[in-house]
Amino acid sequence: MCGIVGFSGSYDRADLSRMSDLVAHRGPDDSGLMLSFDGRVGLAHRRLSIIDLSSLGHQPMATRNGRVHIVFNGEIYNFKELRASLERDGFHFNGHSDTEVILNLYVKYGAELLDHLNGIFALAIFDQQSDTLLIARDHLGVKPLYFSEQEKGFVFASEMKAILRSGLVAPDLDPNGILAHLTYLWSPGGQTLVKDIQKLEPGHAMIVRNGRVTKRWRYYDISFVKSPPVATSLDACIEGVASGVRTAVQRQMVADVPVGAFLSGGLDSSAVVAFAAEFARDQRVQCFTIELNDQDASREGFVTDLPYAKRVAEHLGVDLHTVSVGNEMIDRLDQMIYHLDEPTADPAALNALLISELASQTGIKVLLSGAGGDDIFTGYRRHYALQQERYWSWLPVQVRHMIAKIAASLPVGNTSLRRVSKALQYADLDLQERIASYFCWTPPESAMRLLSEGARSQLSSENILEPLLRTLSIPLADTAKLDLMLYLECKHFLADHNLNYTDKMGMATGVEVRVPLLDKDLVDYVAKLPINYKQKGATGKWIFKKAMEPYLPYDVIYRSKTGFGVPLRQWLYTRLRPLVEDFLSPASILNRGLFDPKAVQTLIERDRVGATDGSYTVFSLLCMEMWCRQFIDGDYPPAVTQCVG
């Protein structure tokens, strides 16, 4: 729920108000702000009322003596247990919100309160006695938090636009961030597209005093240590998974407003809905899905999820609401880019936007999502590809170099050969670089060639894989290869990509999206399971599938994985062609100065005739230029608030 902003330093009430206004869509129900006595600390809040809908949940919230103030975005799922413990210690409460529980936890534990929370959150706590701000982001990064530290001081916000559009930070682009978005489609770790704006990473916290970060630390990390084992038998592990998912769903249904769910008909969302239906008592769970009606999609072999979603809905006795769209959904691209804050080139974000919009119109403020299943249990093709390395990774590097060279030359028109090429094109790299390279959507050398000479000259000397390699240096040395990849999934692909668009698209419509499969206790349990329980041969999420056999139809559990597929190449040269010809014209590219006009035109032409698989790279270039026009040139999309429910 909600949007938060604030500062420490030489700013004023007008600065705070501008930032708050820019996240108003995140909290249409209430707003508030506070300034410290000396005016050097400010906090503001936009509220989406989920728990304790009364005025007693108003933020910023303060302790009775006015010493400690908090702004908080998220939900704490174990707040009732924490409250009971605090009450036994003599703490008194005015209302029934989880915010007040966090506030009193701070009084008791200080920054160590973070060790007691199970939930999704971004928070800021101002302690007038010590004149410090505690800033923190939840364990897996479900809730976003951006910040900037400059000469004037420190500012933070739930969304980057609150810092950038308020004029408090110059919109100077970071070529390393540009290259990252071209390579991965997202920016890894704390880096963003803007030089002076960073993301607080998942599981991290910081102390700010007098406009400066004085301490920064990681308070949580995923541990894959498997000794002692989490259970003594396979049956016990299967039951442990089922019990963990059930408990997570039950925790995350706590709300004083109706709770609905995404339902694609895949395993992850279906499992969440199965347990949600158990705890809905006499009410039918309201579920939401999307149907893409597009002839190009059918011709390119994309399979619709709708029949599976309908089958699960009937099996579980829940109501299913469907958004039916065609290629006109791409007309919402400018809104998608605006609300994402970052130019993430993934049409799946439009799916989340349209579903959240329908849920909001139906009166649903909270949606349960199946996000995270592939990232903790396995499920992506790269997990299977990594397991297949045992057949060739032992070969001498010279031989692996030849394999990589052959893989790079395979034709892209054939889907199977394209996947083989992606799996083997980095075969000659060492283990950690190879694992990191699986996350590259565009080969780094190809992405580099698209940059202009001026942009290349400003790049740091750091390897584009370095942010992921730094992350891989954290787990224990004996961690299995697949667990190392899952660690990267959670730290980067999940936090920097999937969770970012899931949160932003939901909040654009006044809907909070919760992710039961990323419950802290469940994540910690699954991390310690044996690798062959997660990926068994070509079967990903093997133990999750076994755990759900008593609850879901067999054909739903064991159906082939299908992401949200759109015929992007066809759309680029039909529905999106006018945008491509405008935004990526040589004149436009030259004027922006970020990319090489000739290299971009060559990529477009080769992709158009099928000589290269460059559709997502072209789409990424398009999204970045659209982002630049919005956030640098100020050409914001019309009626950017029209999608607020």
- Is the Cβ–Cβ distance between 68 and 127 less than 8 Å? yes
Backbone angles phi, psi at 122, to 5 degrees: -135, 130
The one catalytic residue in 2, 623, 628, 643 is: 2
- Is the Cβ–Cβ distance between 630 and 171 less than 8 Å? no
Segment (H or E) for 9: strand 3-9
Q: Which two tokens stand for residue 404?
A: 């990589």
623 is catalytic: no
| Cα dihedral 397→402→405→407 (10° resolution) | -100
289 contacts: CB under 8 Å, gap ≥ 6:
262, 263, 264, 265, 305, 306, 309, 320, 321, 322, 323, 355
Q: Looking up tokens 């004083």, which residue turns up?
A: 256
- Is the Cβ–Cβ distance between 164 and 22 less than 8 Å? no
Question: DSSP secondary-structure letter at 637?
Answer: P
Amino acid at 269: S
Across the strands, what pairs with 148? 155
**What is the sign of the dihedral through the CA atoms of 502, 504, 509 and 511?**
positive
Q: Which long-range contacts (CB under 8 A, 24 or more apart) does 298-305 make?
A: 299/567, 300/565, 300/567, 300/570, 302/562, 302/565, 302/566, 302/567, 303/560, 303/562, 303/565, 305/264, 305/265, 305/266, 305/562
309 contacts: CB under 8 Å, gap ≥ 6:
263, 264, 265, 287, 289, 320, 322
> What distance in Å separates the CA atoms of residue 156 and residue 279, rounded to the nearest whole number?
37
Across the strands, what pairs with 137? 122
Q: Is 328 strand, coil or helix?
A: helix
Q: What is the DSSP string of 500-562?
A: HHHHHHHHTTT-EEE-GGG-HHHHHHHHTS-HHHH-BTTBTTHHHHHHHTTTS-HHHHTSPP-
The residues that are catalytic are 2
